[in-house]
């Protein structure tokens, strides 16, 4: 006979664990990874492998030797940070820069704040922005996608976002939206295939890892905002322009995988919607009027910082708050 356990209720648990949430997101990223391997070849693989390995090793070393605690790399959060960081990088980025990005993401973005659950900013995003500011040239030289085994040698060229920002009406209309849906476009290698990212979104909704609120509010805001500011150039143009804004750059990757990071996003439904709308607006403002062609990272980063404030003011609807008699 075992000793009887006496503990307060509840005595059953849903069975969901932190690790399951993290690995669920990783599974949702598989389609995008496969597409990036197809278009960017070995470069995508090398950058991802380097990023994941460095993130896991840095987290292990910091937890074990600096914090002198029990390493928790098995929960998958360092792997996820590694994958998300890699997906936001060009596939031809020198690998030593990737390692620096990983060190910043884990060391400063996450562990300096107290580790998993205590960080204010999305670690992968912190790493990417650090690299973008430190290595502007390498970070914005995008290889054109090519189906070569050695994608490292691919030629470089202007991305859709550059065309959207600086191009004229004809250039913009001539962009093939279908190619962008599939992923045959320039950019960080994890963000190029809209369809692969949307499959991941559907998977996460089905597994209830995330709710629809943040991604949908970001995408809807970006679409409507860019539609209305370009409507003066004609309805047809405005539709294409808005569509391109949604499918280009890191918008879908950011909206589905980066902005929905549990730790750094609001906890209530209303807060999530507000957060999403603000990210959408800031993204378009930076894309069109800012110094950078892409504003998604900065928009999420800024709103990460505002999240505690949103959590403070946007409260869930309480039971019995509005007394209905009907």
- In angstroms, the CA 70 to CA 11 distance is 27
State yes or no: residue 68 binds another protein (CB under 8 A).
no
Q: 156: which strand partners?
A: 143
Q: What is the CA radius of gyration of the chain?
A: 21
By CB under 8 A, the residues from 203 to 222 that bind another protein are 211
State yes or no: residue 12 binds another protein (CB under 8 A).
yes
Rounded to a whole number of angstroms, the distance between the first and last alpha carbons of the chain is 56
Q: Which of 27, 263, 285, 288 forms a contact with another protein (CB under 8 A)? A: 263
Instruction: Write out the DSSP string of 27-51.
Output: HHTHHHHHHHHHHHTHHHHHHHHHH
From the list 15-23, 91-99, 121-129, 177-185, the region that binds another protein by CB under 8 A is 15-23
Of 163, 174, 309, 161, the closest CA to residue 222 belongs to: 161
State yes or no: residue 267 binds another protein (CB under 8 A).
yes
Could you give the C-alpha distances from 321 to 315, 316, 324, in angstroms and in order? 12, 10, 9
State yes or no: residue 2 binds another protein (CB under 8 A).
yes
Angle at 223 between CA 296 and CA 185, to 5 degrees: 60
Q: Which of 71, 115, 270, 290 forms a contact with another protein (CB under 8 A)? A: 115
State yes or no: residue 141 binds another protein (CB under 8 A).
no
- In angstroms, the CA 219 to CA 213 distance is 10
Query: Closest separation between CB of residue 316 and another protein, Å?
Result: 5
> How big is the site for another protein, counted in residues (CB under 8 A)?
45
State yes or no: residue 6 binds another protein (CB under 8 A).
yes
Q: Which of 71, 72, 130, 205 forms a contact with another protein (CB under 8 A)? A: 72
From the list 120-128, 141-149, 266-274, 276-284, the region that binds another protein by CB under 8 A is 266-274
By CB under 8 A, the residues from 285 to 324 that bind another protein are 311, 315-324
Residue 13 has a CB neighbour count (10 Å cut-off) of 7
Query: Closest separation between CB of residue 110 and another protein, Å?
Result: 12
Contact positions toward another protein, by CB under 8 A?
A: 1-2, 4-14, 16-18, 20-21, 72, 75, 115-118, 211, 262-263, 265-269, 311, 315-326
């Amino acid at each position: 006979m075992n000793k009887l356990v006496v503990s307060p209720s509840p005595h059953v648990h849903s069975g969901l664990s932190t690790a399951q949430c993290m690995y669920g997101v990783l599974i949702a990223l598989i389609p995008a990874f496969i597409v990036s391997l197809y278009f960017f070849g070995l470069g995508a693989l090398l950058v991802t492998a380097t990023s994941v390995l460095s993130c896991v090793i840095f987290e292990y070393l910091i937890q074990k030797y600096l914090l002198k605690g029990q390493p928790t790399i098995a929960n998958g959060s360092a792997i996820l940070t590694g994958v998300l960081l890699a997906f936001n990088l060009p596939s031809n980025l020198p690998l030593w820069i990737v390692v620096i990005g990983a060190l910043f993401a884990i060391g400063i973005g996450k562990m300096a704040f107290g580790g998993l659950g205590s960080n204010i900013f999305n670690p992968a995003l912190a790493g990417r922005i650090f690299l973008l500011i430190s290595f502007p040239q390498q970070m914005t030289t995008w290889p054109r996608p090519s189906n070569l085994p050695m994608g490292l040698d691919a030629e470089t060229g202007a991305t859709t976002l550059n065309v959207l920002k600086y191009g004229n009406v004809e250039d913009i209309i001539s962009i093939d939206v279908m190619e962008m849906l599939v992923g045959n476009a320039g950019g960080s290698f994890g963000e190029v295939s809209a369809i692969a990212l949307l499959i991941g979104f559907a998977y996460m909704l089905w597994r209830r890892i995330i709710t629809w609120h943040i991604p949908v509010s970001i995408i809807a805001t970006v679409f409507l905002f860019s539609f209305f500011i370009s409507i003066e150039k004609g309805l047809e143009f405005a539709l294409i322009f808005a569509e391109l804004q949604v499918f280009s750059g890191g918008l879908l990757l950011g909206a589905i995988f980066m902005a929905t990071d549990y730790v750094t996003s609001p906890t209530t439904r209303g807060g999530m919607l507000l957060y999403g709308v603000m990210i959408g607006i800031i993204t378009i403002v930076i894309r069109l009027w800012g110094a950078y062609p892409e504003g998604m990272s900065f928009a999420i980063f800024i709103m990460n910082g505002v999240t505690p404030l949103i959590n403070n003011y946007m409260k869930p609807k309480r039971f019995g708050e509005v007394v209905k008699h009907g």
